[in-house]
A and B are shown apart, each in its own frame.
Chain A
Amino acid sequence: MRVPLAGAVSAAIVVAAAAIAPRFVEAGALRLAAEILLAIGMAQMWNLLAGYTGLLSLGHQLFVGVGAYTLYEATQRLQIAPHWALPLAGLAGAAAAALLAPALFRLREAYFSIGLWVFAEIGYLVVSKTTALGSTAGRPLDLSNLPDVEAFQAISFWVACTIGLGALVGVHALMRSRLGLALLTVRDNELAASSIGVDVWWVRFPAFVVSGFGCALAGAAYFMGAMFVAPDSAFDVNWVVMMMFATLIGGIGTLEGPVIGVLVWFALRELLTTVVGLQGGWYLIGMGGVAMTLSLFAPRGLWGLARQHWNWRGWPMQRSSLRRFTKP
């Protein structure tokens, strides 16, 4: 993948900024920045499934919860520093997706969406009643194996940066690959794709697994930073509400959309809660209203409007051929 000079320079600047940020930025703002970066990662994962694969998920909170609880359990059982448990959390999410795919892929459209939501509820209920996992009261993060508690703040922030930016780069690379092209053909017309030899199942499955992996990783990182987890927050449907609305507001099926959408979401949230002083519930009401309005009048989101009216172009996505994913 050839990287243009401008891209390399801006990437270097971003990396440098992220490296020195924990020294100069105060804890609260750092935490918010981490939250935003993780949200971008989650939204990208949701968009990978919805915008590029055509599977609308209403149950991605399952992966958030699975990732978070895997991190907490692994940290405690294996007696390691929390950030080393992150890969396990991601793998748990991938495994969950892999296990659920056979059942879920039988369902069409809305039924897939709600089906995944049912599994999220099952996850929530199982964790809630399992005392070993902390049940409804929740549990704190085991920090006993952390070498340097001071550095933990910085580490959490850098993890968030890596996940957020990694999701962007990863999805970009994926969509430029042959799998990406296959995904788009299946999204646009499953029957037509199948008739030219694209194996629909083996295209959707990797996308679902990757989406589960990434989302679980981001969820684990979020709760790692929070140092406390409970089923109500880990499996909260508002996770997928955020992922969905942010993607829709920004522009579904584009790389830039989830980024824009997440920034808008957090800007609105901070505005309504901090500046205007409304309670938390009101910004959700506002978001719901925005989503409803957008669904009717601007289904392509803000990025879609920008492309339509001002001809903006973001990251280019050229593709290669489909041959690797055809059936034998």
Chain B
Amino acid sequence: MDWITTAVNGALLGGLYGLFGLGLALVFGVMRVVNLAHGEFIVLGAYLGVFLVAAMPQVPPWLMIVPVALAGYAIGWGLQAGVVNHAVRTRDPLTPLMLTFGLSVVLRNGMVQLFGADSRAIDGGALTSTGFDLLGMRIGVYPLLVLLLAAALFAGLQWLLRRSEFGRVVRATADAPEVARLMGVAPERVFNRVMGLALAFAMLAGFLLAQRTLFTPFSGVERMLVAFEVVIIGGLGSFWGALAGGVVLGMAQLLGQKFDSNAGPLYAHLVFVATLMFLPKGLAGERR
């Protein structure tokens, strides 16, 4: 029974992991850019959350999701407009990799200098510590809410891409940016918005993470690897696959840790390797 509880809690953790992967998948799908600094932005969101909650203790912590997400959008927009668009323009796939890797080094070490290397967390208050009993299992309220939020965000993004004009423009630009120009679309502007969305998701996910676990400036690496694994396990090009991938990884992580307490994310990584060997197209198969 204990194991089942762990498995269920792992599935709930998957919501958060899915969110980590969502931003990465979005940027890659539209721009063919892998943002190697993605993990650092997740951690940045966590730090921003820490400071906002400390600065305004009378506001319930979960409300801070909104300013963190907005800040993520603004930073993503600025990053794309200022730097990444130039990298994309060179048409060399190496350039955005070098650029974002350099950025990750700057951010990681910058955060150490600015905030120090000690672990932090956000006290989410009653929300993060309550649980309820279901069928003999102890389920945390917070992880459940995070999963529901993740599912809602996924559905929202799906709606945006499938049904709105903006979504049409994004899909068209991802297909053929030069042809989109003929329709009066400036691909750079589209990319700005997409990166804004992606970092809004990333920083929001970081904020949610901070209420669950401790983090340091070095936590970004692991988060980015998780995001990457989520996308691959789910299948390139599939958003719901990414959520499923998150669930698989979350369960692997918690079950692994129950079985082997100082393993850290080892079992999640091993499940990823297994998927790579036996299911190279991921859970959803490769789209396109």
Which residues of A are in contact with B by a Cβ distance under 8 Å?
Answer: 56, 58, 102-103, 106-107, 109-111, 113-115, 117-119, 121-122, 125-126, 128-129, 237, 241, 244-245, 248, 252, 279, 281-282, 284-285, 287-292, 294-296, 299
Contact = CB atoms under 8 A, between A and B. Distances in A.
Given A110-B93, A118-B273, A299-B94, A125 B113 contact: no
Contact of B105 (A103, A128, A284): A284
Given A118-B273, A282-B113, A291-B105, A296 B95 contact: yes
Contacts of B272: 118
B160 interface: no
Contacts of B269: 118, 121-122, 125
B98 interface: yes
Contacts of A290: 102
B106 A289 contact: yes
Q: Majority SS of interface residues in chain A?
A: helix
A296 B86 contact: yes
Contact of B277 (A103, A245, A285): A103
B58 interface: no
Contact of B102 (A107, A109, A117, A288): A288
B225 to A, nearest CB: 6
Given A103-B277, A114-B228, A118-B273, A295 B87 contact: yes
A305 B222 CA distance: 36
B99 A296 contact: yes
Nearest to A279: B113
Contact of A281 (B86, B113, B276): B113
Nearest to B270: A122
Given A110-B93, A118-B225, A281 B262 contact: no
Contacts of A122: 266, 269-270, 273
A324 to B, nearest CB: 29
B112 interface: yes
Given A118-B229, A285-B110, A295 B99 contact: yes
A282 to B, nearest CB: 7
B118 interface: no
Given A103-B276, A248-B98, A288 B93 contact: no
A157 B77 CA distance: 50
B88 to A, nearest CB: 11
A285 B106 contact: yes
Contacts of B172: none
B150 interface: no
A121 B222 contact: yes
B263 interface: yes
Contacts of B34: 110-111, 113-114
Contact of A115 (B36, B83, B270, B276): B276
B97 A56 contact: yes
Contacts of A237: 221
